[in-house]
Amino acid sequence: MDDATATILIVDDQVDNLLVLTSLLKSQGYEVRKARGGQLALQTVEAEIPDLILLDIRMPEVDGYQVCAQLKASPITQEVPIIFLSALNEIDDRMAAFAAGGADYITKPFYATEVLARIHCQLTIQRQRHQLIEQNYKLQQEIQERQRVELALREANLELERLASLDGLTQIFNRRRFDAYWFSEWQQAQHQQTSLSLIMCDVDCFKAYNDYYGHQAGDQCLYRVAQAIQQTLVQPRDLVARYGGEELAIVLPQTPAAEAVRIVNQIRAMIAQLQIVHEGSSVGLYLTASFGIWSQTPKATDTAESAILAADAALYAAKAAGRDCWKLYPVTTHRPRSVEVIPLKS
């Protein structure tokens, strides 16, 4: 909006005033509308909102103060600038006009140059206000777009980080993720003195499986075993990762030995339910796995690496015991009537 295209509503019950102001404003290129009375002014504004209103105060039925107050009470018309035109020149009259929401006040008899100057001033203020609103809107849009891009970028980075932490074959976490997670959980358990369990799992006779069925079948076999283990873990902080080859590592924070043993037996049952035929196995008809368990509250003198070595030692003890079983570190040298070795029946 600029002055040349502005629409001005003149509200006055005096015809002479309407004619004079209409002639003056049209000579400056303004579009002019007229209303003889307050009620008619409200109806005119409701039909089409002007850019500015010249409003007389003293009018029958509805005076200028009432018209202004009603327009300012509506969110649709409250920003339309209103310049009062009045023969009243007392300070109280002016204060009442501004209190009602008027933007300016011109006393009668008025001077053409003053009227035009005050109209130009209010239209300039209104134009600048609209520009500011538009700029703020554009700025908000830019901010929202930037936030959207930043969110998309963060999500993309998180996805890249997730993909970088996944093992491409099994779709569980990889060795890199395991190393970082195990060290973090170790430090926390050591600091808070809470129980921590680590399970090392190795698919029995996997080389023979690859040799007999081929590497593609071997890959599918590892994937199914890894996913079965993943489904067995229910706690948010539990993690399974491919440690290397056919060996998987399971981290169980805040998990004592008895619970770790229960989870191992659940995993063994899940693998048995897969019924993956393994004719090259020395254990049985179906695929099995062996497990080594380390479960303690880390001491100040312990290290994360020593716990991995301990779980590995338990795993090799389980293999030496005939596979398809688990061993809990520290491994006993004899085979008592305990649950250290529990083969699953085929």
Burial class (CB in 10 A: 0-12, 13-18, 19+), 138: exposed
What CA–CA distance (Å, rounded) separates 35 from 32? 10
Task: State how far the Cα of 108 lies from the Cα of 87, in Å rounded to an integer.
Answer: 5
| Distance spanning both ends of the chain, measured CA to CA | 86
Q: How many Cβ atoms are within 10 Å of 46's Cβ, its own excluded? A: 12
For strands 31-35 and 7-11, give the pairing: parallel
DSSP designation for 345: P
* CB-CB contact of 310 with 197 (8 Å): no
Residue 75, number of CB atoms within 10 A of its CB: 7
> Beta partners for 239?
251
Distance CA 148, CA 142 (A): 10
Q: Is 246 a catalytic residue?
A: yes
The answer to whether 256 and 295 have CB atoms below 8 angstroms apart is yes
246, 279, 305, 340: the active-site residue: 246
How far apart, in whole angstroms, are the C-alpha atoms of residue 318 and residue 80?
86
Question: CA-to-CA distance for 18 and 66, rounded, in angstroms?
Answer: 20
Q: By the 8 A CB rule, do 328 and 261 touch?
A: yes
Q: Which two tokens stand for residue 13?
A: 């019950």
Q: Could you write out the DSSP letters of every residue in 186-205?
A: HHHHHHHT--EEEEEEEETT
Residues with catalytic roles: 246
